[in-house]
Amino acid sequence: MYLSLFSQMEKSMNPLRPYERIDTRRQFLDNDSKVLRFYGYWDDSSSLFGDVRDLVLHYFLVDDTIEIREVIAPNCGRDHVSKFLRRSKLPKVRHYVITDTPVPLQTGAVKQEFYKDSDLTIGTELNVWGRRVTITDCDEFTKNYYRSKYGIVWFLDKLWPRIQDFTPVQYKAPAAPKPSRYVPPYNGFGSEEDSLSSCQGLVPKPPQKDFHKFMTKDSHVLNFEAKMVTENPVDKDRVFIISFYLRDDTISVFEKIQKNSGVLGGAFLQRGRVKKPGQDQSQRSQYFTAQDFYVGAVLCLNKRNFQLIEADEYTLNYMEQHADEVWTLVHMLYTVYIIYCVCDILCVLYITCLCWWRIKTRTICKSFSLPLPETLLTPLLQKYVSPTASTPSCI
């Protein structure tokens, strides 16, 4: 009897504390501002006018709360709501059947289990108050978090087999390849850039020009003297002045007036950009640039071939000062010529060293009464190569 009373007194001295406060300060200090981000979807296609909704799920490690936002595409016809699910603890509500209709809230002291970070895995289906939400992917921070926290082999195999590679769940059909935009050929009205801008939008915009080049190269003009490449004896003696304007890459041709030639001089080609010959009409045209102009070059200007035979002093000085900008064929040929000269010098040095080695070897063999190199190599060549082989004369 006394023992039973004593045991009852002990139980009364240690009463149950159902409202005892749990210290969450450590969780707050360790996980403040740390949020796991998951990507998922809610398939509402079974309802009238329903479709698949893209969602972004945020899991706050500081207090184990979940927030879900809907990704609303532009021009989809849906209202831009702030949140799909406000930030709160999401109960698992396993005693309910997952349906497509919202589940009413239960009042009273009901013990519930809430979703934790260990429950959020790729491919898992969550019950968000009666709506099936499937997790498909996560960001890089979330992957590193799970690698560092759940790095045990048995845990990976049983609870999250996808954690090793984080393979995303494909629920959308692959996007159709974007068709290439057909650019119609140039119709001849205006410049080619203006016609192209009218095909890029409903409101045509003027083409962009190189304003820096326009300001720095405004007063620079390259002048060349040229002759026409033709078999006609009358046109052979005609002399032209071809001017290239660096500010906008335009070309003008002026013919010198010659007395008693039978040809009227003056403006031969109005200033403008000239296309290079032999181009495909379906592609964007290429025009002559400063790199195409040098002494000796042959240019086809409006189906007429001109050869540049001379340049004025200003043009030569400009090309020397801006050799990095005007890299012409003459520079390339000059470089090839230098390489050829260097190779020729190296060949001469090689032959000289070979002859010196032959003379030195013969001198040493004669001074020490040794056989000459060709007497040693000739039997070997006749034995292993051919009976008529002999030592080369250079050895």
Q: Quick one: pLDDT at residue 384?
A: 46
**pLDDT(68) > 70:** yes
Long-range contacts of 322-328 (CB under 8 A, 24+ apart): 325/290, 326/290, 326/291, 326/293, 326/294, 327/291, 328/291, 328/293, 328/294, 328/297
Tokens 């040809």 -> residue: 263
| Sign, CA torsion 147/149/152/153 | negative
**pLDDT(202) > 90:** no
The DSSP letter of residue 91 is B
What is the rounded distance in angstroms from the CA atom of residue 143 to the CA atom of residue 150? 10
Average pLDDT over residues 161-184: 76
Span of 70-79, 234-243, 336-345 with lowest mean pLDDT:
336-345
Higher pLDDT, 351 or 196: 196
**pLDDT(48) > 90:** no
Span of 294-303, 318-327, 330-339 with lowest mean pLDDT:
330-339
What is the rounded distance in angstroms from the CA atom of residue 292 to the CA atom of residue 284? 19
Domains of the chain listed by start with CATH number: 23-100+113-171 (2.30.29.170), 218-329 (2.30.29.170)
Both tokens of residue 293? 């102009």
* Beta partners for residue 243, in sequence order: 223, 252
What is the rounded distance in angstroms from the CA atom of residue 223 to the CA atom of residue 181? 41
Mean pLDDT of the chain: 76
Give the list of residues 6+ apart from residue 60 with CB closer than 8 angstroms, or none: 34, 35, 66, 67, 87
pTM equals 0.45
3-state secondary structure of 243: strand
Burial grade of 150 (CB within 10 A; 0-12, 13-18, 19 or more): middle
Span of 245-254, 274-283, 375-384 with lowest mean pLDDT:
375-384
What is the rounded distance in angstroms from the CA atom of residue 255 to the CA atom of residue 130? 88
3-state secondary structure of 264: coil
**pLDDT(156) > 90:** no
**pLDDT(4) > 50:** no
Higher pLDDT, 200 or 324: 200
Q: Quick one: pLDDT at residue 9?
A: 46
Each residue's pLDDT tens digit, 242-266 = 999 988 889 999 998 888 777 788 8
**φ, ψ for residue 382 (rounded to 5)?**
-70, -30
Higher pLDDT, 267 or 261: 267
**pLDDT(322) > 90:** no
What is the rounded distance in angstroms from the CA atom of residue 136 to the CA atom of residue 122? 5
- Paired sense of beta strands 221-228 and 239-245, if any: antiparallel
Q: Where are the alpha helices (DSSP H) in 50-167?
A: 140-149, 153-158
Confidence class for position 382, pLDDT limits 50, 70, 90: low
What is the rounded distance in angstroms from the CA atom of residue 124 to the CA atom of residue 198? 51
What is the rounded distance in angstroms from the CA atom of residue 215 to the CA atom of residue 310? 28
**φ, ψ for residue 93 (rounded to 5)?**
40, 60
**pLDDT(53) > 80:** yes
Give the list of residues 6+ apart from residue 335 with CB closer than 8 angstroms, or none: none
What is the rounded distance in angstroms from the CA atom of residue 271 to the CA atom of residue 252? 4
Most confident segment among 93-102, 127-136, 271-280 = 127-136
- Are residues 190 and 261 in contact, defined by beta-carbon separation less than 8 angstroms? no
Give the list of residues 6+ apart from residue 97 with CB closer than 8 angstroms, or none: none
Span of 40-54, 158-172, 216-230, 361-375 with lowest mean pLDDT:
361-375
Confidence class for position 358, pLDDT limits 50, 70, 90: low
